[in-house]
Every structure is written in C-alpha cells, then in structure tokens.
Amino acid sequence: MRALVTGAGGQLGRDVVDALSGVVPVGGLRGSPATGRLGERTAWDVVAATHDRLDVSQRHDVLAAVEGVRPDVIVHAAAWTAVDACEGDPERAFAVNAVGTRNIAEAARRWEAHVVYVSTDYVFDGLAASPYVEWDRPNPLSVYGRSKLGGEHEVDPGASVVRTSWVCGFHGANMVKTVLRLAGGDGPLRFVDDQRGCPTFTADLAGALAIVTAERLPGVFHLTNDGPTTWFDFARGVLASAGHDPGRVTPIATADLDPPRPAPRPPNSVLDNAAWRTLGLPALPPWEEALERLVAALAVEGGHPG
Ligand SMILES: NC(=O)c1ccc[n+]([C@@H]2O[C@H](COP(=O)([O-])OP(=O)(O)OC[C@H]3O[C@@H](n4cnc5c(N)ncnc54)[C@H](OP(=O)(O)O)[C@@H]3O)[C@@H](O)[C@H]2O)c1
C-alpha cells in the first residue's frame, strides 16, 4: 500500500512519514495501544511530499503528483499554519488551506485514493462551556480557522477529517521549544490562563493517524492527547519537565497580551475525542506523559532542533 503525505517537512508531517514507514517517531511510544498497533502491520510505501516538492495550492501540480504516485491514501498535513499571519493575508490562507484541500480532493477522486485531512480546534469559537464533540457546529473566529474549515468542506463524505489541537513535536517550532528557550534567559515568562485546550504531541498523533490511514476511517474525528489545560499550566509543565522552577511562570489574561495577537483564539477549544472512543479505540496518552517524553528527547538531542 502506498501513502502520499503532504506537508511532509512540517512538524506533524515528518512524524507521519515515520509512523507510516513503521518507525516510531522521536518521543513516541513503542507498542502503545493507542498508537503502537502499526507495529503489527506492514509498513507503507511512503512518498513524502515536502512543500518544496509539492505546493498544494497549484492544481496542476497536485493532479500530476497524485497521478504519478497513485497512492492508496493521501495524508494531507500541509497547511499555512501561521495563525496570526493568516489574518493579514486571507487570500493566501484560503489558497493553501481551502483550495489546496480542494485540489487534493479532486486528485484523490480521480485516482480513488482515500483522503485523511488534518484539521484544527480553531474551527470552533470556543464559547461552549464543555468540550466539543465532532458533531458540534463550527464557528471559526480567525481567518486560519475559516480557511481550515473551508478545507473540511472540500473533502468527500467518506474522507477522514482529523481535528487536533495545540500541536507540539520534536521537529519544527512549537510552544514546548518556545518555553524551553525562554527558560534559558532572564526574561519574564507570562502565559495566558484563559485559553483552554488539549496539547497534542506529534509522535502520538502520527501513530493514531496511521491507524486512521490503515482503516480508512470515514468521518470527523477529534484526536488529541488526553486532558485539558491552559497555556499557563502547560508552560509550568514544560518547565517542571525540564527541571526548571515552574513558579517562574506568571498567569496573564489574553486581553493583557502586549502587543495583542492579530487572530482571535477560542477561549475553550477542548476537543472531546468522542468518535474515536466510540469506535473502541484507546485514548492517546495524557499530555503530561507525552510532554515528559518530548522534553527528554529534546534533551538527548542537546538542543531544540528546528
Ligand atoms: N500547529 C498546531 O498547533 C496545529 C493545531 C491544529 C491543527 N493543526 C494542523 O496540523 C497540520 C500540521 O501542522 P503542523 O503543526 O505540522 O504545522 P507545520 O509545521 O507548519 O507544517 C505544515 C507544513 O505544510 C507546509 N506548507 C505550507 N504551505 C504549503 C503549500 N502551499 N503546499 C504544500 N505544503 C505547504 C509547510 O511548509 P513551509 O514550512 O515551507 O511553509 C509545512 O511543512 C496542519 O494541517 C495544521 O492545520 C496544527
């Protein structure tokens, strides 16, 4: 079986390529019931489409690439993920995130490939008091969220749509690396305590996506590591995992961010992994445990790989 992975150079894409190839991503868990079942399967023949090799916003390039590869499944992880920059350039956000997904869906339809589209908690406005299930009505606040929801509307009903949140991994830039970098300096560590979500670690998510891919699970899934937190508590967790004093972190309100962020964030984007659980699939590990693994992997590396 052959899989084409878009955005294969991104923090999630790199781990998806590993997971599908039968390699446990850095910081991942071998044999985990939630993510380790792939070990029992034959590894996929994986074609890693990095941004420089395939721009998903270019329809003819996408059609030609999929015709050339003839994948059984396309894991579509490519996106313009710069949430604040999207606010200033909606045309580009929609070209990549919505039209790019339209192009992937068209090519997949032509060659009968299953699509696994990675989407986001930012499709919700975050005003609900409880966690969001897959059937709750999206109402994105930001251009990024609207463009990713646009992508959800482009895939066929039988496709897999996997919404995730607060993504961190060994590769690429993310909040764990930001906190570790700031912890090395004398500057203030201030993080908001009025945004709640579920941190999700690419090594675990990639393993779960490999299950979605192998099973071609249709419909919308929320897939996050287990347990909600705030950015303030998460930053404290990062410091504690790295042996720093978590008391260095001060809580602030989103309204106190200086300068304010261009893109509004949902105050509550906790995703209930209801569809996954209902299928009898085990929860991804608690975020605290996944964080320990990532921080340990970064420490072994002796730095914070980009
Ligand atoms: N990061 C999060 O917190 C988060 C939360 C929820 C959902 N997600 C979703 O998870 C998926 C993976 O995100 P990530 O965290 O791995 O972000 P990432 O590290 O930014 O990876 C996205 C990849 O897509 C590539 N890309 C951008 N524009 C492209 C284009 N026009 N054609 C092809 N590739 C393009 C990027 O390449 P360049 O770097 O060269 O631009 C990058 O390699 C995305 O679908 C994202 O929307 C992320």
Q: Of all atoms in ligand 1, which is nearest to the CA of residue 9?
A: 43
CA-proximal residue: ligand 1, atom 34 (nearest): 51
Model pLDDT, residue 5: 98
Other Cβ atoms within 10 Å of 157 Cβ, number:
7
10 lines ligand 1 (CB under 6 A): yes
Contact, 106 vs 249, CB < 8 A?
no
pLDDT above 90 covers a percentage of the chain that reads 88
102 lines ligand 1 (CB under 6 A): no
Which residue do the tokens 């150079």 mark?
9
Is any atom of ligand 1 closer than 6 Å to the C-beta of 7? yes
What are the residue ranges of helices labelled H in the chain?
A: 11-20, 59-69, 83-88, 90-93, 100-111, 143-154, 175-183, 202-215, 231-241, 274-278, 287-301
Q: What is the mean pLDDT of residues 180-197?
A: 92
d(CA 238, CA 88): 31
For the annotated catalytic residues, the residue numbers are 144
What does the pLDDT read at residue 188?
A: 83
Within 13 Å of residue 179, how many CA atoms lie on the same side as its CB? 30
Which of 167, 204, 221, 229 has most ligand 1 atoms within 8 Å of its beta carbon, as the pocket-test mutant? 167
**Partners of residue 286 on adjacent β-strands:** 226
pLDDT at residue 39 tops 80: no
pLDDT at 54 over 50: yes
Q: For the chain, what is the total number of helices (H) and then of strands (E)?
A: 11, 12
Atom 18 in ligand 1: residue holding the nearest Cα:
10
For residue 182, pLDDT over 80 is answered with yes
Cβ–ligand 1 contact at 100 (below 6 Å): yes
When the pLDDT of each residue in the chain is averaged and rounded to a whole number, the result is: 94
| Ligand 1 neighbourhood includes 166 CB (under 6 angstroms) | yes
pLDDT in tens, 284-299: 999 999 999 999 999 9
Please give the number of the atom of ligand 1 that sits closest to the Cα of 118: 45
Supply the pTM of this predicted model.
0.96
